[in-house]
């Protein structure tokens, strides 16, 4: 007998959603393992077909967008949610029309409704496009926030951001999960940036920091590799910045997925993310899972990485980044191996699928009013079934 149908609502079931899509792919696997039935409801994207294969046999409902597309308006979305026969709806991401649709579904069905902002209530994000966000709050966001059964936060910092903006103090703090994987033991002096090409990621400052640290890095044969995808204008600006430097120790590799991405992370000595704003950056967790230490800003909201010795604070300013690069690449092999081991140990303790799945099983079961997964005969234990 199939388990409760958990709807995962997102603006895009493709890489266009960046880290949110990666989180949803992993979340579907977690739900199936718990005996739930994931159902993805997303808006149309041209590149969705290729990415949908990563979701296996997960049921996917695609709803067509209409003008104004800038707010992901989809007039058929509420009916699509009602037709999906969901037991619980989980909204991934905010500030768009799906917030209104999800809130409407919850009001009409009286069923549980969870919101994962995915870092979109971070002060840096909230401060950008203030007029549009103010309109969204008046039009539908505040009503959606009030109607939610609970919020989901990826980190303690995000739970604090949620409380500050929404007034809700009932966030379930559950990180994204990642499988442990073995990286290379002896690695070339290579730093890797992996993720979306976007101003908030602060890649320009990383490149400038690399240039300022070059007198120390160049004799070591160190290289900076940048892998990712993004809007055409952001990618073009990045290419121009790299092309202006002809020393050849900075390379843009373009999008990397699957085995190629895994191999890049496992071969890098450090992963660098001097971001201005994050929810919970999957690239950091994936790096730690392969024993790859990280150079990251505090806006990555993973202070446990510093505490465990798996990460160094690189700040966001080019001078700060340069200092951290010189310190990182100046380590002995023994010092680096200690950081690598700390990274693997941290994932084992806090981010493995088994640890994260247990938290989700408890949360969804509480909201649905049913027994926890290991004891469940799902349909008979549903409240009101």
**pLDDT per residue over 315-340, tens digit each?**
999 999 999 999 999 999 999 999 99
Q: What angle do CA 326, 331, 333 make, to 5 degrees?
A: 145
Q: What angle do CA 189, 190, 194 make, to 5 degrees?
A: 160
Q: Cβ distance 371 to 364 under 8 Å?
A: no
pLDDT over 90, % of the chain: 65
Q: Can you tell me the distance from the alpha carbon of 146 to that of 148, in angstroms, rounded to the nearest whole number?
A: 6
20 pLDDT tier (thresholds 50, 70, 90):
confident
Residue whose pair of structure tokens reads 């950081």 in the numeric block: 339
Rounded to the nearest integer, the mean pLDDT of the chain is 89
Q: 190-350 architecture in CATH? A: 3-Layer(aba) Sandwich (3.40)
- Strands 311-313, 294-296: pairing is parallel
**pLDDT per residue over 249-305, tens digit each?**
999 999 998 889 999 999 999 999 999 988 788 899 999 999 999 999 999 989 999
Q: Please tell me the pTM assigned to this model.
A: 0.74
Domain limits, CATH 3.40.50.2000, in the chain: 5-177+352-381, 190-350
- Strands 5-10, 88-92: pairing is parallel
Say if domain 5-177+352-381 classifies as CATH 3.40.50.2000: yes
Does residue 68 have a cis peptide bond before it, meaning omega lies within 30 degrees of 0?
A: yes
**pLDDT per residue over 61-70, tens digit each?**
999 988 887 8
Q: Can you tell me the distance from the alpha carbon of 165 to that of 179, in angstroms, rounded to the nearest whole number?
A: 33
355 pLDDT tier (thresholds 50, 70, 90):
confident
Q: Cβ distance 62 to 84 under 8 Å?
A: no
Is the pLDDT at 228 greater than 70? The verdict is yes
Which residue, 196, 122, 195, is CA-closest to 155? 122
């Amino acid at each position: 007998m199939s388990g409760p149908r958990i709807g995962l609502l997102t603006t895009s079931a493709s890489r266009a959603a960046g880290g949110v899509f990666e989180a949803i792919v992993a979340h579907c696997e977690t739900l199936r393992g718990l005996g739930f039935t994931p159902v993805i409801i997303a808006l149309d994207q041209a590149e969705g077909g290729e990415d949908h294969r990563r979701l296996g046999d997960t049921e996917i409902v695609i709803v067509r967008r209409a003008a104004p597309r800038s707010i992901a308006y989809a007039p058929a979305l509420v009916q699509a949610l009602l037709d999906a026969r969901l037991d619980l709806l989980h909204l991934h991401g905010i500030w768009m029309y799906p917030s209104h649709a999800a809130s409407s579904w919850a009001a009409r069905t009286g069923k549980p409704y969870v919101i994962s902002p995915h870092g979109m209530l971070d002060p840096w994000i909230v401060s950008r496009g203030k007029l549009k966000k103010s309109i969204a709050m008046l039009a539908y966001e505040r009503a959606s926030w009030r109607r939610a059964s609970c919020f989901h936060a990826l980190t303690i910092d995000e739970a604090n951001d949620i409380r500050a903006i929404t007034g809700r103090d009932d966030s379930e703090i559950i990180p994204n999960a990642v499988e442990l994987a073995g990286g290379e033991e002896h690695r070339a002096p290579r730093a890797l940036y992996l993720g979306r090409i976007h101003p908030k990621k602060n890649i320009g400052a990383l490149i400038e920091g690399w240039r300022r640290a070059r007198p120390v890095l160049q004799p070591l044969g160190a290289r900076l590799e940048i892998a990712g995808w993004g809007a055409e204008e952001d990618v073009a600006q990045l290419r121009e910045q790299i092309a202006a430097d002809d020393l050849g120790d900075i390379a843009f590799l373009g999008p990397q997925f699957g085995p190629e991405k895994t191999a890049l992370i496992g071969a890098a000595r450090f992963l660098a993310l001097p971001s201005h704003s994050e929810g919970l950056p999957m690239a950091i967790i994936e790096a730690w899972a392969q024993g790859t230490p990280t150079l990251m800003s505090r806006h990555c909201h993973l202070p446990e990485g510093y505490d465990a010795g798996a990460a160094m604070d690189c700040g966001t300013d080019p001078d700060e980044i340069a200092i951290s690069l010189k310190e990182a690449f100046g380590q002995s092999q023994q010092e680096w191996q200690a950081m690598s081991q700390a990274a693997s140990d941290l994932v084992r303790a806090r981010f493995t699928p088994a640890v994260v799945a247990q938290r989700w099983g408890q949360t969804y079961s509480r909201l649905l009013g049913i027994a926890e997964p290991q004891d469940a005969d799902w349909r008979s234990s549903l409240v009101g079934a």
